[in-house]
Amino acid sequence: MTKLWVDPPEGWKYGFPAIYDSETDGQMSEWIVNKGYPVQTIKEYGEQWYIRCWSAEEPEKYPDQVINAQKHSEVIKNAPIGASREQLMAEVSVLTEMVRVLSDRVKELEGKQ
């Protein structure tokens, strides 16, 4: 019997990580979708979609692959930019500019008082 913790990308939004039992849960990809993970998200990731798995023998422990914040930042910085990430980066740029303009306007108004 094989039991694994399974954690797809953005899995926290859909109740992951969760324990998958190969004897009772059927095919893993179908099980993931049946647990509420959106097929559309899998399609958006395309070939970049992956599943992080580790033994459920010790459910309290995280896998060795868990990385610290600094390493995580390096991985994100060097990750290939997909359409959704590119869109988010563009939105962040727009919002940053809006905050700058509003901050300047507040300073201007405070100076007139």
Q: How many CA atoms lie less than 13 Å away from 51 in the CB half-sphere?
A: 18
Of residues 34 and 86, more confidently modeled: 34
Kindly report, residue by residue over 8-50, the tens digit of the pLDDT. Answer: 999 999 999 999 998 999 999 899 999 999 999 999 988 888 8
- Residue 96 tokens read as 């940053």
- Residue 106 tokens read as 């507040």
- 3-class DSSP assignment, residue 75: helix
Of residues 104 and 22, more confidently modeled: 22
Domain ranges of the chain: 3-55, 69-111
Establish whether the linkage from the previous residue to 17 is cis, with ω within 30° of 0. Answer: yes
Cα dist. 51→6, 17, 29, 63, 86 in Å?
A: 7, 10, 9, 13, 22
Q: How far apart are alpha carbons 22 and 67 in whole angstroms?
A: 27
- Considering only 60-69, 90-99, 102-111, which range has the smallest mean pLDDT? 60-69
The winner for highest mean pLDDT among 43-47, 68-72, 99-103, 109-113 is 43-47
